[in-house]
Amino acid sequence: VDRRDAKLALAHIYVAFIALLLGGLAGLLQVFVRTGQFTLPAGIGYYQVLTVHGVLLGLILTTFFIFGFQIASVSRTSGTFSDLQRRLGWIGFWLMTIGTTAAAVMVLLNKATVLYTFYAPLQAHWIFYLGLTLVVVGSWVGGAGQVLRYVQWRKENKGSKEPSPLLSFMVVINNLMWLVATLGVAVSVLFQLLPWSLGLIERVDVLLSRTLFWYFGHALVYFWLLPAYMVWYVIIPKVIGGKIFSDSLARLSFILFLLFSVPVGLHHQLTEPGIDGTWKFIQVILTMAVVVPSLMTAFSMFAMFELRGRELGGKGIFGWIRKLPWNDSRFFVPFIGMLAFIPGGAGGIVNASYQMNQLVHNTIWVPGHFHLTFASAVVLTYFGAAFWLIPHLTGRKLTKSINNLANISGILWAIGMTIMSAAMHIAGLLGAPRRSDYSEYGGAQQAYDWIPYQIAQAVGGTILFIAILVIMYVVVKLIWFAPKGEEEFPVGDVHESSGPTPPLLENFKLWLVILVALILFAYTVPLIDIISNAPPGVKGYKLW
């Protein structure tokens, strides 16, 4: 990667890891509070800490790491950014950083204790919403730089029979999905939350604000997931010495994510009374459709691992597994994430299954689910990528001893997360609510049954925090202290047996038209219903 692009990518990655440290600390405080044995000092509130945790890890760590990784990926596979493209990247970076700082200050001042989902009726100071708006606008500007570099590649290679670089193609899909998804939250912030917190309007429609948030919110989780899938599809094959199983399969799975990530938000609102059951049912079906590209990914990963393991002489049904490079943290740490995604994804299917959702919704089962999917599958893959990406960008080497430490952090993470997330799932089935500090619920027996699991969460959470400290040590080493040298940016080649990639898969116009049609189908009637049934005082809102 060109040095100037490397600088831009690194700037994003620094912010991401600062967010990891602070957000992880907030997580540690939370699991302690839930044991009932610990009270937060200096009048700090549980929900304030919960907001810090969710915003820093769910919104800031992710967006900044993703952008750092995507900028480096496009520069590596499509070519060095032009001055304009890089300038867009920097403008985006500063807008996002200023926005993050503004929002973070408001949260720390306890003026924005609205959780990472920030929809009404919880209200924040207007500076918090403005900060988030800057983060979103910044991500559009920065994303435009990445997309323009890809467009330039297509222009330069017009008429070529070769498909565009897979990694850059994937980055463009993720940016498009993000753009379409953030429109929902932009409408909510600009027309509801900002004017409301500025006192320009007295009331907002809570149901509408939640619906607009979840229109964005589910695609948000795939915006986190797709960079991890980029690593799984394109980077891991090279790291283990194998090949990408199929270029077409990888592209198709990304297109399916683009199509199905947005029109499924109602599966977060299955218990919401103001939405007609028919539309919830339709979006549950679409949710099951968005599971398909993940199943395709699982298939592709197994195939790639098995092909490589057999190439190395692995025999029998499972003998090839032993041949994989288990001591290489660039493979091992993301692999732990893949394993976590099997129960995490299965839990997602439970969540999405209308009737079972009644049992788990708003219980701590749901954080159990996203600590396997997001806080394991996704972030462990980010860490695995950081272990080669940071030294590649800083001109240093991932040495054997740092690699071993990185592996230890992965093992600690796996242990801590297994304990914490298993306890969350079980306590959730026993009815323990999510987003609740310690409470005896008036001495109810049921609440006492949750206590052992809350303690297990604290034990798991503590191990996780130790893992974060080890990761921070590894990252600091890789940025400033590892020996100078060259670290590879691994990009896999496609396996010979993979057929040619049909040009149809690169026809963005077609996929965007289908995407818009699906969104209109899934959301038009529910939104009309919500707006026309709005409570008095909200209906006459003059901005509508």
Place of tokens 């809102």: 541
Q: Which of 258, 338, 478, 522 binds ligand HAS (CB under 6 A)?
A: 338
List the one residue out of 9, 11, 175 whose CA is nearest residue 80.
9
List the one residue out of 382, 379, 372, 305 whose CA is nearest residue 345.
372
Is 386 among the residues that bind ligand HAS (CB under 6 A)? no
Is 150 among the residues that bind ligand HAS (CB under 6 A)? no
Query: Could you tell me which residues are beta bridge partners of residue 484?
Result: 396
* Distance, CA of 199 to CA of 25 (rounded, Å): 34
* Distance, CA of 396 to CA of 313 (rounded, Å): 33
Is 281 among the residues that bind ligand HAS (CB under 6 A)? no
List the one residue out of 277, 388, 283, 369 whose CA is nearest residue 331.
388
Is 381 among the residues that bind ligand HAS (CB under 6 A)? no
- Of the two residues 295 and 476, which places its CB atom closer to ligand HAS in the complex? 295
- Under a CB-based contact definition with an 8 Å cutoff, are residues 473 and 482 in contact? no
- Of the two residues 354 and 438, which places its CB atom closer to ligand HAS in the complex? 354
Residue nearest to ligand HAS (CB): 345
Question: Catalytic residue at 435?
Answer: yes
Place of tokens 């490589």: 308
Q: Which of 257, 260, 370, 489 binds ligand HAS (CB under 6 A)?
A: 370
Question: Catalytic residue at 222?
Answer: yes
Question: Catalytic residue at 218?
Answer: yes
Question: Catalytic residue at 369?
Answer: yes
Question: Catalytic residue at 371?
Answer: yes
Q: What is the dihedral of CA 57, 60, 62, 68, to 10 degrees?
A: -140
Is 187 among the residues that bind ligand HAS (CB under 6 A)? no
Give first-to-last CA distance, the chain, whole Å.
Answer: 48
Place of tokens 């996704």: 378
Question: Catalytic residue at 354?
Answer: no
Is 323 among the residues that bind ligand HAS (CB under 6 A)? no
Is 436 among the residues that bind ligand HAS (CB under 6 A)? no
Q: Choose one: 176-184, 339-347, 442-450, 464-472; the region binding ligand HAS (CB under 6 A).
A: 339-347
* Distance, CA of 77 to CA of 164 (rounded, Å): 9
What b/e string do you get for 333-355 counting C-beta neighbours within 10 Å, with b at 16 or more? bbbbbbebbebbbebbeebbbee
Catalytic residue among 46, 222, 229, 245: 222
Is 361 among the residues that bind ligand HAS (CB under 6 A)? yes
Is 301 among the residues that bind ligand HAS (CB under 6 A)? yes
List C-alpha distances in Å: 106 to 101, 112, 302.
Answer: 9, 6, 46
Is 352 among the residues that bind ligand HAS (CB under 6 A)? yes
Is 225 among the residues that bind ligand HAS (CB under 6 A)? yes
Q: Choose one: 73-81, 145-153, 195-203, 347-355; the region binding ligand HAS (CB under 6 A).
A: 347-355
- Write out the catalytic residue numbers: 218, 222, 369-371, 434-435
The residues that touch ligand HAS, with contacts defined as CB under 6 A, are: 117, 221, 224-225, 267-268, 287, 290-291, 294-295, 297-298, 301-302, 305, 321, 338-339, 341-342, 345, 348-349, 351-352, 357, 361, 366, 369-370, 373-374, 378
